[in-house]
Structure 1
């Protein structure tokens, strides 16, 4: 018969205990297959062998009807009794080499792994695929003692599997709202290896409409695979330039001018959960460039707001509204709105590091913006240290390399602010060399930059929606050129600062602050184009 070829895109693990009241298991299974499930694993932990075989046999009748492979969790005897395509085993189950000896070369054997070393052993022992997890906490099984991998942990395992032919699905706490976050955030940083699919239990089995639940998950996975096949760029699915136009500094600056006009024309609503020190300045900066700010923080408020905003900024400088940050960020992902994360002083205290990890495990940022100490903390670099909100040290030896690597790791655009600003989407790196030293003498200039980045990312999304079929790529958290959105936020801030500092009425930080607001209001694309100093850095 030969070994089956399996599409792992949407891997359903059965769990009859999660069925809604009144929902029949076989009815639910058939509906899920109609919705797009591509492989099924029968998992039964607390029934006798005869009952397990009966459930597996009837399950196989249904999966055969739809041409979908069937696997059995752990039990070789049940596999042999019903003639399934193979088994899935865990780290404490039968050793894989023994299972292969008993099952023969044509059986599919999958293995649960949670570390790179376990994945390496799975490759050596001849696993056909691995299930990587738990990604997040899940109610489907007790994983309280296990480290939750988060998307970047999945990526470290995928790095080991690159080029081996061993496919991988992720499992654990995966639901529609965090699926795109997982798919993009788990792309391995060096090899760019990605998941073959995702495994789920409760999101489908627990749904009263499993066909719809499966179809929604499958659409995101399929769209992600199409995007990876055709584009290869996880962060910037749509460029403002034509496909033939190179992403040169000149073309990017022209595109910034387009976004400036979009903001003035459409007045996007920018939701900001931000540092208490800079709320007023951030709101005024948003208004000055033509957008509209809203500063809601309550968790019950932010979920409804997400549907109408253009973008979300989460600046956790004072971390007083963490619950609101968690809810707002997740809803931004669900509603496919740009999410800019400004992890102020993230490396200064253990609490800030823990808060950052918690937030990043709940949602996927579109842009991460920070100074050298903040970016260094997220990149796990010791080159630049933190003293409160400030950076200590001479800076990164190779800042372009740092931002590109972090952008690839996080599947987000990364903005490193400083005397020179570096911006990367993981593919190219831009260096912007505008600004003025007075920016360092007023409180909140970096926070205002984050505000403007969010504003122009909202504009990039609006421009996309006006130019393309909305949401044609369901795997992308956000449609639009977020690299240009981030560059626009940086350039508008730094060019306005140059113009403000050159005014005759500016005598120091106090007068500069007022002048900066004026020049943000007055700045036009032609002035920015004349002054913008941007280069594409080869890394």
Structure 2
């Protein structure tokens, strides 16, 4: 009897039970054991996943396997020693330490390719080593391989991913820095393989092709240093040059906090497949490679363990936003309505702008969070803010208050203070002038809705104000976030300093309001409101950094606020957990 839960690495599929079209219960396995050919595709939440029939009639769904690209073998049957079969060579190579296998059969007909792939897959399954198929998505799906590797002239990445579904490994060869950046930004691939570093006889290139050399590999690594995506290299690599390639291609940390990056593995063909003793060849290579290949970007970023754990929460929260698409109810100002709606949408939330007192209580019922922005005020809107906040408090929905212009006029200051006293505000987010006015701290002035000057001790102000506000509501915590060149967030106990962002944010109106709206997205999925407040701040700051870097890379400079705004929105749309992990600049005080 096949018992999935007694096997290592198995977890019950979220929608466990009996699938209507399957003969047995549905489970997820990270590496299927002796499965037959796939039954077909299952549409789960809009994603296609392969279904397999296990021996006892249990239907299993393959989940994307974890892969280690340290020593990556690409096959070439034309290089096999006399009397050695491809299956034997792969088995021997795996026994010697190969961690990932790609089957490349450029000249085989489809029937032969399927038979070969099935045989190699059996060998790989026995050793729990993932098998990728070169180029042929149909072959990978037919035999249930773990993924596909494509080149620049093969299937476009978006189509390849759509056909493969989310549970397969997808790798791509990149010949230029631009191709590597596009692949990393796409979020479609699981690793990048560089073009040939040295001259090699195992692959014919187009006329005019230039080998990357170690310097070219390093340039590619530098270009994708902010993405937590493994990069491997290939081409003329052997026992006497792999150490040089691994060491000299490393990208060191930058003076301004830019993360390091290094190769995650080496790809070889003839150095293993052409050897009479593939196991020994693989073992010798692995012995040199293993000490030199780097861990992922996560562990290369130098952070204390508590800060790393905090950043992981930020990244996980972003993933949840994309998965759950929470509705964010905004009562906000005329200037930023369109901008905040779009940025919520780009981050993964679902925005609604509802201001009428007759509907706000009903709208709050459906929302994951309520964002109140006092940038546009009237007696009717103030009434709506209180109605919505009362309902949100009753339903235990997080409320984010952006006290725009508090301190500039009496009505703004009184409205902000009244909302804070009457309702439990989860997160108060404002600039130094606004927070100073609410806290009664002297020394910071406002000009309209802009702050002039900075607080002398912003971390202390945030901490003290949080404690004061929380005491007004029987200890229910109000987290305070103060924006500035460095942002400060405190729940009265913890203080987090955030250093992401770019000066171009100051050329756009409403970026503070946008931060509050994005904070609403995080608060809707993350119960720790300090994490939520930092999440909104870091998300916009990281997106701004990515936007500027992209414009400079593509055009040599940022032309102006309009081009920056467009790039910022694109960066928010493409923002992923890896970018948060790789770029978040936080300090836990």
Could you tell me the TM-score, scaled by structure 1's length? 0.50
Who wins on radius of gyration, i.e. which is larger?
Answer: 2
**Greater relative contact order (CA < 8 Å, ≥ 6 in sequence):** 1
Could you tell me the TM-score, scaled by structure 2's length? 0.45
